[in-house]
């Protein structure tokens, strides 16, 4: 998965369909590792390329952990790193990094509170919550999360104690898991109604591994579980991750040039429109998931895709989807 084919990405750049719409990008990463670089300069270039992006939220990706600290506190190094990149971004006098979603191991139970305090102290007021990815599969063709979760991790007592502690501190919980695990999140959403839960990447309706030939079954399970989740008003849906060829098998990464926003909208419109109608715009937010989605899409194409899909919506609905919901959830 090559995220840095910049010459290829340049072949597909588009002008914004509607540059007047304010965009808050609530999900991107920062790193410099393995030959891949996405730091303040690259982020600024994307944010200012053509759309009206004003603010962003960084989401954890195991970047720049402090390996000199005890294991549970090592992720605080990532928060320190992002604060430094945020300061560098501000020097461009453009869009701001306005929130940090870090990592803390919820299986620490009540002890996770100490890690949350450390994140807050390191964040300069930017810390908003954590993501503890639990995406797991027994299919060898489907990768498990970078956090190396065990099956049904969200049902474990220690995890639930950690989640409760997170809520007591007033922070958000970002969830990354696959569509066939969503029943675990349904239970959590009902038992922890006070915690804002943000489901990443549309709830991952996979099209790889054993699911590659079972699209009808995937859609049935995905829709059933998202419908249940939508009834919990503390659950919000991040609509994005749509460029992840490694999960959705679009084939776009093999094209001679990136797909157009029209092509991408045609592929995703039915699922995305259904999700918005099921949750409502006030429970949905568009996300870029950059630079991960850069494996198939330029930043401009991604946001034009969302603008195409929402052409039929009114100003208030667009405001919620492109910035309002993100601002409310992440206190921007």
* Sequence-distant (≥ 6) Cβ neighbours of residue 157 within 8 angstroms: 109
- Find the domain containing 23 and state its range: 6-330
Do you know the residue count of the chain? 332
- Res. 3: pLDDT tops 90: no
The 10 Å CB-count burial string (b at 16+, else e) for 239-255 is bbbbbbbebbebebbee
Is there a domain that residue 1 lies in? no
Place of tokens 């946001």: 303
What confidence tens digit (pLDDT) does each residue in 20-47 have?
999 999 999 999 998 899 999 999 999 9
Among 208, 159, 155, CA closest to 179: 208
Residue 312 has pLDDT above 80, yes or no: yes
**DSSP letter assigned to residue 259:** P
CATH of the domain at 251: 3.20.20.140
Chain-centre distance of CA 19, in angstroms?
Answer: 23
Could you say which DSSP state residue 276 is in? H
What is the chain's mean pLDDT, rounded? Answer: 98
Torsional class of 24: left (φ above 0), alpha (ψ -120 to 50), beta (otherwise)? beta
| CA dist., res. 308 & res. 324, Å (int) | 19
Classify residue 279: in a domain, yes or no.
Answer: yes
pLDDT per residue as tens digits for the range 220-265: 999 999 999 999 999 999 999 999 999 999 999 999 999 999 999 9
Residue 263 placed within a domain: yes
Say if pTM beats, i.e. exceeds, 0.85: yes
Question: Residue 172 falls within a domain, yes or no?
Answer: yes
Q: Hey, what's the torsion of the CAs at 68, 147, 331, 237, to 10 degrees?
A: 170
Q: Which pair of structure tokens corresponds to residue 279?
A: 């949750």
36-38 and 31-33 strand pairing: antiparallel
| Contact status, residue 327 vs residue 40, Cβ threshold 8 Å | no
Give domain status of residue 233, yes or no.
yes
Domain count, the chain: 1
- pLDDT of the residue at 34: 87
**Mean predicted confidence (pLDDT) in 134-154:** 97
Instruction: Decide if 57 contacts 85 (C-beta within 8 A).
Output: no
Q: Is the pLDDT of residue 185 over 90?
A: yes
Q: Where are the alpha helices (DSSP H) in the chain?
A: 6-10, 40-47, 76-90, 112-122, 157-168, 182-191, 215-230, 245-248, 261-279, 299-309, 315-319, 325-330
């Amino acid at each position: 998965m090559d995220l840095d084919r910049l010459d290829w990405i340049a072949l597909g750049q588009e002008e914004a369909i509607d540059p007047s719409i304010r965009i808050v990008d609530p999900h991107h990463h920062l790193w410099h590792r393995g030959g891949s670089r996405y730091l303040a300069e690259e982020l600024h270039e994307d944010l200012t390329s053509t759309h009206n992006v004003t603010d962003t939220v960084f989401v954890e990706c195991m970047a720049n952990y402090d390996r000199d600290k005890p294991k549970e506190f090592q992720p605080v190094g990532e928060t320190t790193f992002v604060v430094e990149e945020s300061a560098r971004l501000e020097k461009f006098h453009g869009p701001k990094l306005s929130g940090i979603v870090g990592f803390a191991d919820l299986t620490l139970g009540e002890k996770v509170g100490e890690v949350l305090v450390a994140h807050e102290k390191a964040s300069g007021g930017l810390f908003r919550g954590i993501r503890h990815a639990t995406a797991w599969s027994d299919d060898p063709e489907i990768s498990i999360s970078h956090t190396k979760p065990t099956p049904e991790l969200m049902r474990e007592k220690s995890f639930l104690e950690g989640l409760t502690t997170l809520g007591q501190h007033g922070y958000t919980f970002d969830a990354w898991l696959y569509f066939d695990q969503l029943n675990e999140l349904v239970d959590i959403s009902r038992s922890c109604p006070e915690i804002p839960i943000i489901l990443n990447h549309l709830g991952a309706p996979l099209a790889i591994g054993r699911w590659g030939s079972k699209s009808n079954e995937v859609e049935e399970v995905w829709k059933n579980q998202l419908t249940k989740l939508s009834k919990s008003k503390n659950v919000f849906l991040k609509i994005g991750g749509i460029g992840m060829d490694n999960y959705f098998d679009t084939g776009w990464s093999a094209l001679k040039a990136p797909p157009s926003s029209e092509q991408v909208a045609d592929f995703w419109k039915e699922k995305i429109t259904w999700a918005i109608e099921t949750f409502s715009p006030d429970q949905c937010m568009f996300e870029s998931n950059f630079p991960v989605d850069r494996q198939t899409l330029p930043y401009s194409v991604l946001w034009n895709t969302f603008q195409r899909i929402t052409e039929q919506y009114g100003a208030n609905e667009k405001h919620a989807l492109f910035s309002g919901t993100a601002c409310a959830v992440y206190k921007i």
